[in-house]
Amino acid sequence: MYRYQVLIEYVGTNFVGWQIQSNGKSIQKLIQTKLSKLLKEKVSLVGSGRTDSGVHAIEQSAHFDSKKKIQNLDKFLKSLNYFLNYMNVSILNIKKRNINFHARFSAKQRIYKYVIFNRLSKPSIEKERGWHIIKELDVLLMKRGAKKLLGTKDFSTFRSSSCNAKSPIRTMKSIRIKSIKGRIEIQFKSQSFLQQQVRSMVGCLKYLAEKKWDLKKFNLVLKSKKRILCAPPAPAKGLFLEKVIY
């Protein structure tokens, strides 16, 4: 048995998410089907984690096993992309890995990026690639709020009701916020995230930056561990899985 890792870029707009579901097209099912066709055997694709409907990936990571060795990885990569590119899905790289490698459980850090267009006009070139907010946001206040999210905490406030993680405790290693000409990028780094955690945190940071909340209220919501107090989650279209570090 041979194990291979693939790095994947995709636009999530027209998918129900990464994970195979009965209610529509998933990225996992699309790639798995094409792999099985090319390798002429049933293949199971394992991702580093699920991304929700509408969420994009700059570099998702996954692995699969094959009974036979792939002789020419470059040729295989080109063939695979031939069947995927029309769906705005690209395999960036494929490499042979040790059988002990696991796309999900071997991951040391995951990096997500959220994009906000803070300007009067809607984006055209980057339509469906960010959250358009007209009201001017206070980025410095957003940065002060982000500091309160760092470290090991109970993130129950930011956890979707459908999240099946065993524990709400997560360690937020870093949050970086940069703003250039009305484009705000927020990068989150942690070993793992709860379902809708990033989008929920962004929603609360937006309330803070709009001055609907002050820092005292933001901190109170965080410490409450009550989902009902969370601001509405940011839309999926602004979220990108940027990188998985092993």
| Beta-carbon count within 10 A of 152 CB | 11
Q: What is the pLDDT of residue 48?
A: 97
Q: What is the pLDDT of residue 160?
A: 94
The chain-wide mean pLDDT, for the chain, equals: 97
- Across the range 3-26, mean pLDDT stands at 96
Report the distance separating Cα 147 and Cα 60, nearest Å.
27
How far is residue 108 from each of residues 2, 84, 102, 111, 177, measured CA to CA in Å? 23, 28, 11, 10, 22
Distance CA 171, CA 18 (A): 24
Average of pLDDT values for 193-202?
97
Strand-pair category, 131-133 with 109-118: parallel
Average of per-residue pLDDT across 8-23: 95
The dihedral formed by the CA atoms of 196, 198, 201 and 202, expressed in degrees to the nearest 10? -110
Distance CA 20, CA 23 (A): 9
Contact 114, 186 (CB under 8 A): yes
Tell me what pLDDT residue 144 has.
98
Segment 58-80, tens digit of pLDDT: 999 999 999 999 999 999 999 99
pLDDT tens figures, 104-119 = 999 999 999 999 999 9
Active-site residue (options: 52, 74, 138, 214): 52
Output 152-156 pairs: Cβ under 8 A, ≥24 positions apart: 153/222, 154/225, 155/194, 155/197, 156/225, 156/226, 156/227
- H-helix or E-strand containing 118? strand 109-118
- As a whole number, mean pLDDT of residues 83-92 equals 97
* DSSP assignment letter at 52: B
Whether 52 is catalytic = yes
CB-based contacts of 18, cutoff 8 Å, min separation 6:
26, 27, 28, 47, 49, 50, 51, 57, 60
Q: 215-224 and 139-147 are packed helices; what angle lies between their axes, rounded to 10 degrees?
A: 40
Domains present along the chain, CATH in parentheses: 2-97 (3.30.70.580), 109-245 (3.30.70.660)
Query: What is the pLDDT confidence band of residue 156, given thresholds at 50, 70 and 90?
Result: very high
| pLDDT value of residue 187 | 98
